[in-house]
Amino acid sequence: MIKILLYDPNRSEWSLFDEILPSSSYDLNKIGTFCEAHTAILTGHYDVLLMRVGSEYTRQIWNLITDYQSVTPLGPVVLIYDEITIETLNHALYYGVKDCLKFGEIATTLGFSIGLTLDRCRDLQARIAGLEKQRFEEQIDRLQKALSHELNNIFTLQDEISHSGQQLLSVLVNALEIADPYVRGHSQRVAALSKKIAGRMNQSYLMSHGLFDLSGLETAALLHDIGKLGIPDNILNKRKKLSEAEWKLIKRHPAMGADIVANIGHLCSIAPDIKSHHEWWDGTGYPQGLKAEEIPIKARILSLTDAFDAMVSPRIYRAARALPEAVAEIKKSAGTQFDPQVVEGLLWLAGDK
């Protein structure tokens, strides 16, 4: 049903509008004063505004049209006049009036005019909606392309950062091996063994201690001895027994290594693991004397794999131990030097379970 607001100060002829616009097809609200019309326009929604004007066209008429168009921007306004001038027609055109009808002819023209103006307005609304949809889709397309471009930039940057990180990691490991050639390959072996042992351990145990991603464990393993870069070569490569002062200096390498990686953005998270990889399960390790659960889980794994690889690898001051002998030594140290859960992982790996 078409909802129409009629502003007609001449109330005596309202019945004519009721005949032309029957209630079966039109919801006609008739208003006779400016204030009532103003309130009705601002509080209701009308499909069409009919303005009945006499020979005098006051500013109030144009104000009502402006109010209506502010509430219903595409709603048609039809002006019904007794007499009209060119000046009034120009005003009507300026204010967006869609049709001007002579009062004496509305019996045959009003219904047709309302239908035609509504059709035109609906067509205009459809076109505007289509244009808005097109503009919206174009904006979405532009945003998607921009987002895709930015994501590609981010992924490229991540790849570059990752590549740079891997290069830095390689540089640090190579620098360590140059400083201490007798442990060449040690860090890589510790990293590989750490991942294998973690894979054999109780996974709920690892996750309950915050170890979800083995990449951090691998990185910590590769750099666990990086602090030895701060130890003089003559001490690292000494063939004779170390003095007490030299041994104290060697024992500083976990803390020194933690300090090195703590200043490298993407490596700072493994600093506690490097610092604690010589802590013992019973609290007699160094540098802080941490005990059991106080030791980070990655450091507990590194503690075992570092010791195990040292046992089975030759050193300048001793020969390599046989694999069964090294496994037995690790098994014997479960609960004292090593986390029993980590030892279980090595035993599973060695086939001793």
Query: What confidence score (pLDDT) does residue 304 get?
Result: 96
**pLDDT averaged over the chain?**
81
Highest mean pLDDT among 23-32, 161-170, 193-202, 256-265 belongs to: 193-202
**% of the chain surpassing 90 pLDDT:** 20
- If asked whether residues 106 and 195 sit together in one domain, one would say no
Is the peptide bond preceding residue 340 cis, with omega within 30 degrees of 0?
no
Torsion 127-128-132-133 (CA) sign: negative
Assigned domain for 106 exists: yes
Boundary residue ending a domain (127, 146, 172): 127
Domain housing 13: 2-127
Mean pLDDT within 325-353: 89
Q: Are residues 50 and 184 in the same domain?
A: no
Whether residues 231 and 311 share a domain: the answer is: yes
Better-scored residue on pLDDT, 2 or 128: 2
Last residue of a domain, one of 112, 127, 142: 127
Please answer whether residues 277 and 302 qualify as being in contact, where contact means their C-beta atoms are separated by less than 8 angstroms: yes
Q: Let me know if residue 148 belongs to a domain.
A: no
Whether residue 139 lies inside any domain: the answer is no
Question: What distance in Å separates the CA atoms of residue 53 and residue 148, rounded to the nearest whole number?
Answer: 59
Asked whether the predicted pLDDT for residue 164 surpasses 60, the reply is no
CATH number of 29's domain: 3.40.50.2300
Residues 241 and 112 in one domain: no
Domain closes at, from 127, 157, 191:
127
Higher per-residue pLDDT: 89 or 255: 255
User: In the chain, how many domains are there?
Assistant: 2
286: phi then psi, degrees, rounded to nearest 5: -140, 160
- Greater confidence (344 vs 137) lies with 344
Tens digit of each residue's pLDDT (9 = 90 or more) over 89-126: 787 888 778 888 888 788 788 877 887 777 777 776 67
Are 63 and 190 found together in one domain? no
Taking only the tens place, the pLDDT of each residue in 60-90 is 788 888 888 888 877 888 888 877 778 777 8
pLDDT of residue 171: 62
pLDDT of residue 225 exceeding 90: no
In a domain, 232, yes or no: yes
**50 and 121 housed in the same domain:** yes
Same domain membership, residue 58 and residue 187 = no
pLDDT at 173: 65
Residues ≥6 apart with Cβ < 8 Å to 342: 197, 201, 300, 301, 303, 304
Residues 231 and 346 in one domain: yes
Task: Taking residues 333-351, report their average pLDDT.
Answer: 91
Task: For residues 248 and 336, state if they share a domain.
Answer: yes
Estimate to the nearest angstrom the gap between the alpha carbon of 288 and the chain centroid: 39
- Asked if the structure places residue 134 within a domain, the reply is no
Threshold 0.95, pTM exceeds: no
321 and 201 housed in the same domain: yes
Buried b (16+ CB within 10 A) or exposed e, 222-256: bbbbbbbbebeeeebeeeeeeeeebeebbeebbbb
C-alpha separations of 12 from 61, 255, 307, 330 in Å: 20, 101, 109, 111
Alpha helices, DSSP H, located in the chain: 14-20, 34-43, 59-71, 86-94, 106-179, 186-200, 203-208, 214-222, 233-236, 244-250, 253-262, 271-275, 297-312, 323-332, 340-350
**CATH code (residue 273):** 1.10.3210.10
- Find which of 132-141, 150-159, 220-229 is predicted with most confidence, using mean pLDDT: 220-229
- The angle, 0 to 180 degrees and rounded to 10, between the axes of the packed helices 186-200 and 297-312 is 120
Query: Is 287:255 a contact under the CB 8 Å cutoff?
Result: yes
pLDDT exceeds 60 at position 163: no
Claim to verify: residue 208 and residue 344 sit in the same structural domain? yes
Asked if residue 50 lies in contact with residue 7, where contact means CB atoms within 8 angstroms, the answer is yes
Taking 50 as the threshold, does the pLDDT of residue 186 lie above it?
yes
- Residue 49 inside a domain? The answer is yes
Residue predicted with more confidence, 307 or 352:
307
Q: Residue 160 domain-assigned?
A: no
Check whether 161 has a pLDDT greater than 50.
Answer: no
- The reply to whether 161 falls in a domain is no
Q: How far apart are CA 173 and CA 226, in angstroms?
A: 7
Q: Is the pLDDT of residue 35 over 90?
A: no
Residue 334 pLDDT greater than 80, yes or no:
yes
Q: Are residues 110 and 29 part of one domain?
A: yes
- What is the CB neighbour count within 10 angstroms for residue 320? 13
